Amino acid sequence: MTTIPYVHGHDEREHTRLQDQAATLVELLHGDTAYPGGSRVLEVGCGVGAQTLTLAARSPQARFTSIDIDARSLAEARRRAEAAGLHNVQFQQADLFALPFAPASFDHLFVCFVLEHLPRPAEALAALRGLLRPGGTLTVIEGDHGPTVFHPDSAAAHEAIACQVMLQRRAGGDAHIGRALYPLLIGAGFDAVHVVPRAVYVDASRPALVDGFIRKTFTAMIEGVRAQALAAGLITPERFDEGLRALERTAEADGTFFYVFFKATAVAPARDR
């Protein structure tokens, strides 16, 4: 089975961060995502089910197959779905590069925060295209660390963020992949590709985002790679911690924070190419 490096780890702290992120960004990322009754939907890389619960609850008559390579994450996803009373989701352990499904098995595909971790995202998208019926749709959501800006600005904070970007690159991923979704999807043979930036802007007038995004999503993500960054010699402990404090500082009354996600939709061609 192919091993896909996940720089953020699979511990309980990261599980909580993913759930906080999903809860904070529900409307921004999923407000316009819904599937018709009877649709067969494949969710790729479901992890702990952070996105699954929203998808399944918003399209209760659709039938979801949610896959992940990590058995521990799947167990948590299954537990959370059962606790939420969701009965339209089937969880399955599967390798993205060796999927056990016949061609044209699904009406829709959903891929969120997965491509950024793959060394071969174009190859993955081309393989996924074959699982869609002709005219079926794909939704992809990815972040992009490049446009991240905040006030007060801090060189140390940018250096700490750069550590996470570098670690992900060394693992074969790309923390800037959001900006590349259009060419990736076109190159994979999809039609009607449409990409929309989904910006997160936070200031003190939006307390839910101050806590949910600045503290529990973004700063927690950077803090989570501290040990790896230090072990790799990318930064000194003092400088990394200075950067963390600067990120936390943006959550104060006069702070602001800006980040961009990209949401893409595409259609499988009527005939395979």
Domains of the chain: 12-267 (3.40.50.150)
pLDDT at position 123 is: 95
3-state secondary structure of 257: strand
Residue 8 has pLDDT above 60, yes or no: no
Helix orientation angle between 237-249 and 155-170, rounded to the nearest 10 degrees: 110
Question: What is the rounded distance in angstroms from the CA atom of residue 194 to the CA atom of residue 50?
Answer: 24
Question: What is the rounded distance in angstroms from the CA atom of residue 14 to the CA atom of residue 20?
Answer: 10
pLDDT at position 1 is: 43
Give me the percent of the chain exceeding a pLDDT of 70: 90
Tokens of 205: 């007038």
Single-letter code of the amino acid located at 31: G
Residue 3 has pLDDT above 70, yes or no: no
Query: For 103-131, what is the mean pLDDT?
Result: 96
Q: What angle do CA 177, 178, 184 make, to 5 degrees?
A: 70
- Distance set, CA 52 to CA 21, 44, 194, 242 (Å): 13, 10, 23, 36
Question: What is the rounded distance in angstroms from the CA atom of residue 2 to the CA atom of residue 94?
Answer: 10
Sheet holding 63-68, edge to edge: 89-93, 63-68, 40-44, 106-112, 132-151, 256-267, 191-202
Tokens of 120: 């071969």
Q: Which H helix or E strand runs over 63?
A: strand 63-68
> For residue range 233-268, what is the model confidence (pLDDT) as tens digits?
999 999 999 999 999 999 999 999 999 999 999 999
Contact (CB, 8 A) for 194 and 182: no
φ, ψ (nearest 5 deg) of residue 129: -55, -35
φ, ψ (nearest 5 deg) of residue 162: -60, -30
Please compute Rg for the chain using Cα positions.
19
Residue pointed to by tokens 């996924």: 128
Residue 42 has pLDDT above 90, yes or no: yes
Query: For 52-80, what is the mean pLDDT?
Result: 95
> For residue range 191-210, what is the model confidence (pLDDT) as tens digits?
999 999 999 999 999 999 99
Q: What is the pTM of this model?
A: 0.91
Tokens of 2: 């192919």
Average pLDDT score over the chain: 92
